[in-house]
Amino acid sequence: MTATTTTQQDRTLLSRLFGARETGLVLIILVLFLIMTFASPHFLTWTNMRAMTMAFSVEAIVVVGMTILLISGGIDLSVGSVTALAMVVAGLLFLAGVNPWIAALIAIAVCAGIGAIMGFFVTVVGLHHFIVTLAAMVIARGLCLLGTGGRPLGLFELPASFKWIGIGSIGVIPVAIVIFVIVVAVFDFLLRRTTAFRLVYYTGSNEKAAAYSGIRTKRVIFLTTMLCSTLCGVAGVIYMARFGSAQPTFGVGMELNVIAAAVIGGASLSGGKGTIFGAILGAILLSLVSSSLALLNVSVYWQDIIRGSILLAAVTFDHYLVKRQAAGGRA
């Protein structure tokens, strides 16, 4: 009896902190972490931890944008191409003699513009997100290849002050991770607590009910589409600073990884659900699995199979949870 009560109390305490989905993910990540610590001597080392965090910290910025868009009921397949386009635009401008910081801002603005165009086609013309962003994905990739002739742009002259955002450190903490933590914390707060972002949940949960509550739903969808592309621009600029080059073929397949992370973290393709914190945990889990498999010398081909299986398991789990809740609600 006492044991049960304690467990329940613990559960409510944890749930109060994170919510059921986040709690489950944290536990899975911790278990995996412990297993890996024993399984590989190279796992729990400063180098490995740093490499692992660096690997997903920039992509996590895109995950933030995608999660907000998914909550509003949209989806964006163009994130990988748009991220690459940000690198290419900033890179070309820099090579043309523009100050790298200004070049970065222009590149981010270009991405915001692409988001606005996609948002226009979705909300004003009335096309589906999937189709519009699929087209944008192909077009943005084409622009990257066109602008660079298909070859990476070497940006050897990039000043160290700019490269700092990609490879620098504040104390022992890499700047990229600091940026990632700030972006995640800010957007998690905005989404949980501000009126503007609450409208995103209303719109995604039931667009018609939102319209019948006086919410200008088209504006919400337009802005979330634009925000997602803008954050891709931010990520692209940081990647450029890290690599010291602009790669027109960068980010192929990124959209699948990013959507998978958000969905594992509790977002739903039908909208209205999800949190930034959950999505980041999803991204951490995927990244942890990848690097663990690499450390254990598992073939890279297996990694895709395992990541796909995790996605399927998470969504199946969700499906049953929703069904059980619905049955409970009816009773």
Partner 1 sequence: MRGGASPDPDHGIAMIQPPLLQLTDISKSFGAIRALRSAQFELRAGEIHALAGENGAGKSTLMNIIDGILRPDSGEIRIDGQAVQIDSPAAAQRLGIGFVHQEIALCGDVSVAENIFMPQTAQSRRKLMGGAELIARAAEVLAPLAEIDPRLPADHLSISQQQLVEIAKALTLDCRILILDEPTAALTEHEAQKLFAIMRGLAAKGIGIIYISHRMAEIFGTCDRVTVMRDGQHIRTDRTADITPADVVNAMVGRKLDTLYPPKMTGDRGPEILRVEGLTDRRFRDVSFALHRGEILGFGGLIGAGRSEIARGITRLEGDARGRIWLEAQEVAFRDYADCISRGIVYLSEDRKGDGVFLDLSIAANISALDLSKVAGRFGVIDPARETAQAWRIGKSLRLKAASMAQRVASLSGGNQQKVALAKLLAVEPKVIFLDEPTRGVDVGAKAEIHAILRGLADSGVGIVVISSELPELIGLCDRVLVVSEGCITGALSGPDLTETNIMTLAAPGALASAGTGT
Whole-number minimum distance, CB 201 to partner 1, in Å?
Answer: 6
Whole-number minimum distance, CB 271 to partner 1, in Å?
Answer: 9
* List 14, 215, 294, 310, residue binding partner 1 (CB under 8 A): 215
- Structure-token pair, residue 150: 């298909």
* List 157, 214, 297, 320, residue binding partner 1 (CB under 8 A): 214
Q: Does 196 bind partner 1 (CB under 8 A)?
A: yes
Task: Considering only the stretches 45-53, 127-135, 141-149, 198-206, report the one whose residues sit in contact with partner 1 under the rule CB under 8 A.
Answer: 198-206
Whole-number minimum distance, CB 313 to partner 1, in Å?
Answer: 22
Please check whether residue 172 is in contact with residue 50, taking contact to mean a CB–CB distance below 8 angstroms: no
Question: Cα separation of 285 and 98, whole Å?
Answer: 39
Instruction: Return the number of the residue (102 or 182) whose C-beta is nearest partner 1.
Output: 182
Whole-number minimum distance, CB 216 to partner 1, in Å?
Answer: 6
- Structure-token pair, residue 156: 């050897």
Side chain identity at residue 75, one-letter code: I
Whole-number minimum distance, CB 281 to partner 1, in Å?
Answer: 20
Instruction: Return the number of the residue (99 or 213) whose C-beta is nearest partner 1.
Output: 213
Question: Cα separation of 302 and 293, whole Å?
Answer: 8
Q: Does 16 bind partner 1 (CB under 8 A)?
A: no
* List 43, 162, 187, 201, residue binding partner 1 (CB under 8 A): 201
Instruction: Return the number of the residue (23 or 206) whose C-beta is nearest partner 1.
Output: 206
Q: Does 213 bind partner 1 (CB under 8 A)?
A: yes
Question: Cα separation of 215 and 73, whole Å?
Answer: 15
Q: In terms of C-beta distances under 8 Å and separation of at least 24 residues, what long-range contacts does 260-265 make, across chains too?
A: 260/286, 260/307, 260/310, 260/311, 261/60, 261/63, 261/285, 261/286, 262/63, 262/66, 262/67, 262/70, 263/70, 263/311, 263/314, 263/315, 264/25, 264/310, 264/311, 264/314, 265/21, 265/22, 265/25, 265/67
Q: Does 202 bind partner 1 (CB under 8 A)?
A: yes
* List 139, 211, 294, 315, residue binding partner 1 (CB under 8 A): 211
Residues sharing a CB contact under 8 Å with residue 46, sequence separation 6 or more, in sequence order: none
Binding site for partner 1 (CB under 8 A): 193-196, 198-199, 201-202, 205-206, 208-216, 272-273, 325-326, 328-329
